[in-house]
Structure 1
């Protein structure tokens, strides 16, 4: 035999066979058995280590030591060996296969060259008392496979997990998988039935059929187990940990053939133990796209459906009921026992009613299987069992931790649970113990460890009676902690852009919400609630949670009195109330009054930096109203404050506001100069442009740059700026990003980039709908109407734009109404409704004069000139308007308006046979765009110039 020198050459007997290794002879009842050389080598190796699993690699190395062969050869020769032995015939078992592990010779072997090689507990012995394995176990196949492999290698594995997660079910399944490997010698011991620790060894001895004849049952038991190969399953060890630990250590030391599989809510903690922590069954995410078919991909929902159907329920699942099933399983944290108990109720209560009942404590009394152990008869019994294992300090800490919703950090737990009665060290030790006992779940999140009570455990703890004063003290500490947490993390919230970045913060925000509800509720802490709301509203705004921002700022402001008003907290609340109202409801008196009150408080308290920062959102309010004259007042005030402060952020803000005003009033060059000055004076990085009171000066600077570049006709630079701003808007996903995209849309439409503008507009409208921002939604629809007019869909465009302009005027959202009225006038003119077009453009000119939005004055004058020239209404006045538009555009530095006015005037002169004047006017304007991208206005101008130059 190849490599056979390292194999035992003794005479071995098993069943009717005798194997003489040194003679390479196998006989059955004295008759030689013909066996191939490799198959005989395999038999020699396997019988040299009976009842031990030999891996495939080990077998290949020992039977084929000098060559490389495929596993297929091993399987081929193993099949020949089994056939020769008659393995499986008439109940005879010799070789068993353990999936993913290897092969094991399971028949008793007597080796004349060895002292003992066979187990004394043979297949079919009375000790094989395993409970029946579930015919179908859902979602645990990988657990069973992994635990079986670990148990084969390490001899002692503890399955750890909370009550009801399915530890016993999995342990029984593992024992069944390994039963053949242990020759049927498996013993299951339910320790839950024992309350006296002194009876553990006695109970196990009784299970093994061994009499207990002395006070030292452990020594007798270890002595008996010494020569055995046997698998012991010790179920439910958590209430007898010290005794089980001592007994397991003694058995592992004195009985090398014994393997132990334990289930517990807490680790046994001896040297040879390997812990396998069993998680709950996976549930579907909270996803609106969930379908009935998707449920089959998640073990929790699959178990629910199967158990409900088995109980007689007729589940006719559609997508709506699928979401309900998923919600039930999530509510039950994927705990197998809880899911099974709830599924049994479907037949009598239905899905909807069962889901509703989960919020009531009576569901903990729902009965389970009649054959279940007492601690699993009801969920209440499981929870009572866990609670009974806790010390008094652990019980108190558990009740205090129940105030948290979702996961929480160790710092939060220590702050909330520590009191005069229980010091910080005791709380820390109690938390450690609750984790060890599987009462408190550990959820690693990045580098931070977080803790969580399962919903069923939390509900149980909340039902434990507490003194009213103690409950209030816990809630007060909880609210105080999250107020400080919000204040400390406010800057971080502003930098979060993706869902993955925000995810770790959501649990803290949910706890802040819970604390707000308590503070303003019965027996709450109103002063604490005001402080908490002042800390929470900036975060709600940063996360685009505008209804919540409005709700809690209003609630806190209503609670202010003479002693608590007029300070920093009211300033925060008024500012965020004004902003949330402005975004969601428009530009009425309420948001303006709130913002002005915030500015007044800052000034009254001598807080010049906050005053400067608050001028940003107040400026923004008037800007959206289209009142540029008021914007200019606030911009000048901001500049004055910044000069006295000498603070980079305040300086950048003031020059940004001034640059916006100058651009909108038609001083494009001066506006760009101020905007560039803001960038020069700003902090070194974009992150340094901190968002204060919802106003992002950096992004407003970018928007103003885009506006100035588009008006100046600098299409290349404008397109690059738009692309960057749009990418940033998508990443930021904040109400401010809507301003970014609508300004980008406006700029793109101005230069005729219709497809890109439409893409931006679609994103804008979808976000406005998602965030319930009605004024923005009206604006988006208005721009869609302008787009339709540009494409020639005049009937829809004019009708829709008229409607939306009415809505925008009603909401006082007039930032873009000058531009949109110009588009409406163009649409009316193209529809041959010149009289209506003239009325609209005259109203637009009055609005420009009132508001100060002079940047669109050249365009309005151009459109009026074209209206007057149409159908020979008034050539002289029409030509005068076009000349005025041309002069205004040049004085403002608005290249796009100059191009349009020059094209229209040159075209008019061509009809008047003033070809030389037309060429002289248009040629330098067209040449000034030589380095810019092609756009429809430029294309039209070039075509006209070619036509003029080709005419005599």
Structure 2
């Protein structure tokens, strides 16, 4: 581990300052007393801020000459957290990373004789910068000035004419500063977007974030709030209002995020510094100009380099220099225009290129050269360049404009080819267009991608196509991307990072564009329905729930009478129902859509169709707390799965039946089904994500962990819970991870591992907040309130739990209601509100009898008995009855976890009544059933009580 500071360097965080050389920690200038080992622990963590420091490294740092147990480290970490007030009033300094170590997560700054104040904040090791040019002509000063200004002011917009080189310079700045941002540079090309409402979605998707609402901005800002990175927003002008608002919010809310934007006009928001990127400098109009002087100006330099790179051979005499300078001035020093002109020299020669350029520009410039906006200069250049193309090249260029962003050669051949222009001709035309710089190339992933620059695409779209020709083109475009979705759909759930998503993201923009046309005024709704059927499950798998909902709804509205009751309606209703379920909860609209879809599936009689609907229907009823109904759908799913030869369907059936049996108290049946899904299931790649919106096998693993604990295997339960969370984290699918975390937390709470529970609760809240998953935020808050009750803060815990339950009921999300009600009843009892606690327990028992979730009934009876005993006038007879009922039911369920808890409470009651033999007779055989987990809280309590009983 490296030293945290030298000389009298000061490390500051929050209201604290640490002078390492003096081993002095102060808070608001006042010394903070810390033991030597505790201070060494702090210094070690500060040596690697925002990194996980392993327990092994910490032990080696703090105890370099002796061997100690991890318990000593935990003791000093706890003391350090207490001294810093970690967790008080929202302060966060030290995070525990389960199974790995500890991390200092608060922003810090260092100051000293050799340091300027520099802030460090949590970041992410990710960069998707395009490759920079081998040599950038004439922009060295711009590069340095922009880098300095961006570092100082945090928010800079490069403003200039189209084609002037804004993106080129921005990319160069990103590469120049990439080390300063520890590799955290995110490049977002907004040129491929047409809908301003998707600006925040585009950034979030590139970060691999789940989008769960129509407005992705709050989730994006929550995610960026504590990140240090350089965010590059390229080509903003067509989305100016939306990008301006988004950039302003990020700048204000995320103090470690630096923003570099490119646009033809300023965003005009607070905090923005505008950097105007002028055209490349040209020599003055001087008849005596020499080639040597001309070469000192960047515009002629760029022209000559690009002409030579294209194969042109120029002597570059004074006469040729004058022609080159004339061309550069006519093009106003616009880099893109110069490059395109230079590439024509090999074909036409220098003088003819200049002559053609003069003719075309003369036709377009009706006034002085300085009068028209710079965009007209670029338009003139593009118009001239278009005029140099052959007729097949012109047709191909116009048709390529249908693509948004990158496209593959396969896509181009499929979409552009027609009866009048075959694939070989298209292939040759694209090759020529690439050579003439009308089509750009860029490797993306393992495949070369093609791209019309935004200015070129805009120009091509202005050239009107015959209405019938355009309709045929748009239909081929939509049809191609429907086929692409159907072929690549299985891959979508496996994509987690922006780098993996980038190739698919460009395709998804083309899908959106095609859907907009299909359902537009002059579109083809029939083609649009087919495309929406293919697109909706992909939007669902990528957690883009609003878009899944939007296009499913639009397509359903466009179905004609003949299509009602068919396969397309069945699939669209299913995707609509699932997206509504996760977005809005909603008992009515989501239920209606899912039921309609299932009715069609039953009518069609296809087993696989019914299976795909039974999973979402099961999950819907689980989420609203109707556990018996959910079990009905799970059993139907299992019955049908047995009749089909589809391993993925069988795994789905095992998963949802195991979950439903668990919640309904059949633990042995649940374990068999869950193990079939998790341990013996086929190696299928996340198929349930397409149908459920999350990976069902991960949920099955988490519920298996709970089942193991209930059956009396606490060590196996903890191992399975941690393993399931690990698998979910590796998927990096936020909805799946949050589901895994929720159920793993319940296992850690049952075992009594409060530290592990707290770590995972913090993880759950952080991930769900940054991805706008409101039910899981509320669940995390509820778990925090439960911890407060366990730690003795009954008043605060009860208030927090009541508020969280109110939010969960409103959504509705009732999966945790029974267990949280039990915790709330215990908190009410601890606060002296016994009548309210007993009323809540009785109400919950009645609810369980009606809806299911009967696995909790033994625990509810135990909690009721404990409340009866803790009253000012204990009702021991009623309490003993509750305990005996709990014991009987837990034995019938095979729930040894509940049985042990109840046996402890009943034995303690009997011991207090001097019925020691009876107490020992009840507790001892229950305790003897456990062969693992002797260090868990319940088993330690049982062991202490048995010892006291003699």
* TM-score of the pair, normalised by structure 2: 0.63
CA distance in 1, matches of 2:165, 2:873: 89
Distance 1:932 1:368 in 2: 88
Deviation at 1:824, TM superposition (A): 0.5
Kindly state the Cα deviation for residue 804 of structure 1 after the two structures are TM-superposed: 2.5
Deviation at 1:790, TM superposition (A): 1.8
State the SS of the aligned residue for 1:408. Answer: coil
Whether contact under 8 Å (2:481, 2:507) holds in the other structure is yes
* Residue of structure 1 in register with 2:720 after alignment: 721
Distance 2:372 2:893 in 1: 87
Residue 191 of structure 2 aligns with which residue?
none
Does the C-alpha gap of structure 1 residues 726 and 684 become closer, same or farther in structure 2, counting only changes over 3 Å? closer
Greater relative contact order, per chain length (Cα 8 Å cut-off, separation 6+): 2
Q: Say which SS state the counterpart of residue 561 (structure 2) adopts.
A: coil
Please give the alpha-carbon distance, in whole angstroms, between the structure 2 residues aligned to 1:877 and 1:606: 54
Question: Are the structure 2 counterparts of residues 719 and 134 from structure 1 closer, same or farther at C-alpha, using a change threshold of 3 Å?
Answer: closer
* Structure 2 CA distance for aligned equivalents of residues 539 and 865 of structure 1: 50
Partner of 1:326: 261
Q: Distance in 2 between matches of 1:927 and 1:876?
A: 27
Runs ≥4 residues deviating over 6 A: 277-280, 287-291, 293-301, 317-324, 329-332, 365-377
Partner residue in 1 for 2:187: 285
1:740 equivalenced with 2:740 (yes/no): yes
Residues 233 and 261, structure 2, Cα contact 8 Å, conserved in 1? no
Question: SS in structure 1 opposite 2:642?
Answer: helix
The question of 1:884 aligning with 2:786 is answered no
Alpha carbons of structure 1 residues 375 and 859: separation in structure 2 relative to 1, 3 Å: closer
Provide the C-alpha distance between the structure 2 equivalents of 1:830 and 1:700, rounded to a whole number of angstroms. Answer: 33
Deviation digits for residues 813-837 of structure 1 (CA, Å, limit 9, x no counterpart): 2111111100000000111111111
Q: Deviations over 1:626-672 (max 9, x none)?
A: 21211221122223222333543333333333322322222212321
Residue in 1 that maps onto 2:278: 340
Paired position in structure 2 for 1:583: 582
Q: Secondary structure at the match of 1:828?
A: helix
**Cα distance change on mapping 1:370 and 1:575 into 2, 3 Å:** same
The structure-2 alpha-carbon separation of the partners of 1:374 and 1:655, relative to structure 1 and needing over 3 Å to count, comes to closer
Task: Specify the alignment match of 1:650 in structure 2.
Answer: 649
Matches within 5 A, 1:12-91: none
1:295/1:800 CA distance change after superposition, 3 Å:
closer
Kindly indicate whether the alpha-carbon contact (under 8 Å) linking 2:734 and 2:771 is maintained by their aligned counterparts in 1. Answer: no
SS at 1:537's partner residue?
Answer: helix
Contact 1:375 1:382 survives alignment (8 Å)? no
Q: Report the alpha carbon displacement of residue 389 of structure 1 after superposing the two structures with TM.
A: 2.7
Cα separation, partners in 2 of 1:691 and 1:422, compared to 1, 3 Å: closer
Alignment of 1:917-932 (within 5 A): 917-932=918-933
- Aligned twin of 1:824: 824
2:811 aligns with 811
Hey, what does 1:441 align to over in structure 2? Answer: 440
Give the match for residue 395 of structure 2: 396
Is 1:487 aligned with 2:486? Answer: yes
Task: Find the counterpart in structure 2 of residue 384 from structure 1.
Answer: 383
How does 1:236-635 map onto structure 2 within 5 Å? 281=172, 285-286=187-188, 326-328=261-263, 339-340=277-278, 378-635=377-634
SS of 1:326's partner is: strand
Q: Secondary structure at the match of 2:562?
A: coil
Question: Could you say which residue in structure 1 is the equivalent of 2:855?
Answer: 855
User: For the structure 1 residues 909 and 376, does the alpha-carbon distance in structure 2 shift closer, same or farther, using more than 3 Å as the test?
Assistant: closer
- Could you tell me how far 1:774 is from its partner in structure 2? 2.8
Structure-1 residue corresponding to 2:730? 731
Superimposed CA distance per residue, residues 793-828 of structure 1 (whole angstroms, 9 cap, x where no aligned partner): 222211121222233233332111111100000000
Decide whether the 8 Å contact of 1:164 with 1:382 is kept in 2: no
In 2 relative to 1, CA 279–473 (structure 1 residues): closer, same or farther, beyond 3 Å?
farther
Distance 1:866 1:462, change over 3 A: same
- Does the Cα contact within 8 Å between 1:584 and 1:772 map onto a contact in 2? no
SS at match of 2:261: helix
Query: Do 1:627 and 1:852's aligned partners in 2 also have CA atoms closer than 8 Å?
Result: yes
* Alpha-carbon distance in structure 1 between the residues aligned to 2:558 and 2:447: 37
Residue 520 of structure 2 aligns to a residue in which SS?
A: coil
1:527-560 CA-partner distances (Å, limit 9, x unpaired): 1111111111100011001111111111111222
| Alpha-carbon offset, residue 339 of structure 1 | 4.4
| SS of residue in 1 equivalent to 2:463 | coil
Per-residue CA deviations over 1:696-734 (Å, capped at 9, x if unaligned) read 442232132122012223222112211121122223314
Q: Partners of 1:727 and 1:737 in 2: how far apart? A: 9
Contact kept in structure 2, 1:786 and 1:823, CA below 8 Å: yes
- CA deviation after TM superposition for structure 1 residue 297, in Å: 12
Secondary structure of residue in 1 paired with 2:858: helix
- Aligned counterpart, 1:193: none
Distance 1:522 1:893, change over 3 A: same
Q: What are the Cα deviations for residues 498-545 of structure 1, in whole angstroms up to 9, with x where unaligned?
A: 333222211001110111111111101111111111111100011001
Query: Alignment RMSD, CA only?
Result: 4.0
CA contact (8 A) 1:869 1:879 kept: no
User: How far apart in 2 are the matches of 1:404 and 1:669?
Assistant: 55
CA contact (8 A) 1:617 1:693 kept: yes
1:617–1:695: 8 Å Cα contact kept in structure 2? no
The one-character-per-residue Cα deviations of 1:136-173 (angstroms, maximum 9, x if unpaired) are: 654599xxxxxxxxxxxxxxxxxxxx995779xxxxxx
| Counterpart secondary structure, 1:760 | helix
For structure 2, which runs of at least 5 residues remain unmatched after alignment?
A: 1-136, 146-160, 175-185, 189-202, 204-219, 236-249, 268-274, 282-363
1:897-940 superposed Cα distances (whole Å, 9 cap, x missing partner)? 11211111111112111222223332333343342252222232
How far off its partner does 1:693 sit?
Answer: 5.0
Q: Which has the larger radius of gyration?
A: 1
8 Å contact from structure 1 (residues 682, 689) kept in 2: no
CA distance in 2, matches of 1:807, 1:457: 51
The residue number in structure 2 matching 1:668 is 667
State the alpha-carbon separation in 2 of the partners of residues 946 and 639 from structure 1.
48
8 Å contact from structure 2 (residues 934, 940) kept in 1: no
Going from structure 1 to structure 2, the CA distance change for 1:299 and 1:598 (only over 3 Å counts) comes to: closer
The whole-number CA distance in structure 1 between the counterparts of 2:663 and 2:139 is: 76
Residues 695, 610 of structure 1: alpha-carbon distance in 2 compared, 3 angstrom cutoff: farther
Deviates more, 1:764-773 or 1:415-424: 764-773
Alpha-carbon contact 1:672-1:708 (below 8 Å) kept: yes
Check whether the contact 1:648–1:681 (CA below 8 A) recurs between aligned residues: no
CA distance in structure 2 between the aligned counterparts of 1:696 and 1:380, rounded to whole angstroms: 50
Distance 1:371 1:300, change over 3 A: farther
Per the TM alignment, residue 585 of structure 1 is displaced from its structure 2 partner at its CA by: 0.8
Q: By how many angstroms is 1:681 displaced?
A: 6.7
Name the CA shift for 1:722/1:331 in 2 (closer, same or farther; >3 Å): farther
- Displacement of 1:462 after TM fit? 1.6
Cα distance 1:295–1:387, how it changes in 2: closer, same or farther (>3 A)?
farther
Give me the whole-angstrom Cα distance separating, in 2, the residues matched to 1:693 and 1:296.
35
Residue 420 of structure 2: SS of its match in structure 1? Answer: coil
SS in 2 for 1:483: helix
3-state secondary structure, aligned to 2:386: helix
Q: Does 1:787 pair with 2:689?
A: no
- Cα deviation, 1:577-599, whole Å, max 9, x if unaligned, reads 11111111114111111111111
After TM superposition, the structure 1 stretch with the greater mean CA deviation from structure 2, 579-588 or 672-681, is 672-681
Distance 1:836 1:135 in 2: 73
- Residue in 2 that maps onto 1:759: 759
Give the equivalent residue in structure 2 for 1:639: 638
State how far apart, in whole Å, the 2-side matches of 1:582 and 1:628 are. Answer: 16
Alpha-carbon separation, structure 2, partners of 1:279 and 1:427: 33
Distance change >3 Å, CA 687–CA 868, structure 1 → 2: closer
- In 2, Cα distance between equivalents of 1:880 and 1:366: 97
Aligned twin of 1:190: none
Instruction: Find the aligned partners of 1:440 and 1:596 in 2 and give their Cα distance.
Output: 49
